[in-house]
A and B are shown apart, each in its own frame.
Chain A
Amino acid sequence: MATSAELKKVSSQVRRDIVRMVANAASGHPGGSMSSADFLTALYCEVMNHDPKNWTRDGKGKDVFILSAGHLTPVYYSLLARTGYFPVEELNTFRKFGTRLQGHPSVEMGLPGITQASGSLGQGLSAAAGVALGKKLDKEDNFVYVMCGDGECEEGQIWEAGMFALHHGLDNLIAMTDWNGQQIDGTVASVSGEGDLELKWKAFGWNTIVADGHDMDAILKAFADAKALKGSGKPVMILFKTDMGHGVDFMAGTCKWHGKAPSADQCAEAMKQLEETLGDF
Chain B
Amino acid sequence: MKKYIDTGKKDTRSGFGVGLLEAGKADSRVVALTADLKGSLKMDAFAAEFPERFIQCGIAEANMIGVAAGLAITGKIPFAGSFAEFVTGRVYDQIRQEVSYGETNVKIASSHAGITLGEDGATHQTMEDVALMRALPGMVVLNPCDFNQTVAATIAAAKYNGPVYLRFGRPSVPNFTPAGEEFVIGKAIMMNEGTDVTIIASGHMVWESLQAAEALEAQGVSAEVIDIATIKPLDEEAVIASARKTGAVVVAEEHNMAGGLGELIAGVLAREVPTPIEFINGADKFGQTGTPAKLMEVYGLDAAHIAEAACKVIKRK
Residues of A within 8 A of B (CB): 57-60, 64, 106-108, 115-120, 122-135, 137-138, 156-157, 160-161, 163-164, 167-168
Contacts and interface: CB of A to CB of B under 8 A. Distances in A.
Nearest to B67: A130
B130 to A, nearest CB: 22
B74 A134 contact: yes
B145 to A, nearest CB: 32
A123 B75 CA distance: 19
Contacts of B101: 106-108, 117
A76 to B, nearest CB: 16
A216 B103 CA distance: 36
29 contacts: A59-B74, A116-B70, A117-B103, A120-B94, A120-B96, A122-B62, A123-B62, A123-B97, A123-B98, A125-B66, A126-B62, A126-B64, A127-B69, A130-B69, A131-B74, A134-B71, A134-B73, A134-B74, A137-B53, A137-B71, A138-B75, A160-B58, A160-B62, A161-B63, A161-B66, A163-B58, A164-B60, A164-B63, A168-B55
Nearest to B106: A130
Contacts of B65: 126
Given A123-B94, A133-B70, A58 B75 contact: yes
Contact of B52 (A57, A107, A137): A137
Given A108-B103, A160-B62, A117 B75 contact: no
Instruction: Specify which of B66, B71, B75 lies most central, judged by the most chain A CB atoms within 10 Å of its CB.
Output: B66
B71 A164 contact: no
Contacts of A106: 101
B295 to A, nearest CB: 33
B272 interface: no
- Which A-B residue pairs are the 10 nearest by beta carbons? A130-B70, A126-B66, A134-B74, A160-B63, A160-B60, A130-B67, A131-B70, A127-B70, A117-B102, A157-B62
A190 B29 CA distance: 46
A139 B284 CA distance: 50
Given A57-B73, A130-B73, A164-B57, 6 more contacts: A64-B73, A117-B102, A120-B96, A122-B62, A131-B74, A138-B74
Contact of B70 (A119, A126, A163): A126
Interface residues of B, number: 32
Instruction: Specify which of A120, A122, A164, A167 lies most central, judged by the most chain B CB atoms within 10 Å of its CB.
Output: A164
Interface in B97-115: 97-98, 101-104
B182 interface: no
B58 A167 contact: yes
A159 to B, nearest CB: 9
A119 B101 CA distance: 11
Nearest to B65: A126
Nearest to A137: B52
A164 B68 CA distance: 12
Contacts of A124: 66
B58 A130 contact: no
A58 B74 CA distance: 5
Instruction: Specify which of B57, B64, B78, B96 lies most central, judged by the most chain A CB atoms within 10 Å of its CB.
Output: B57
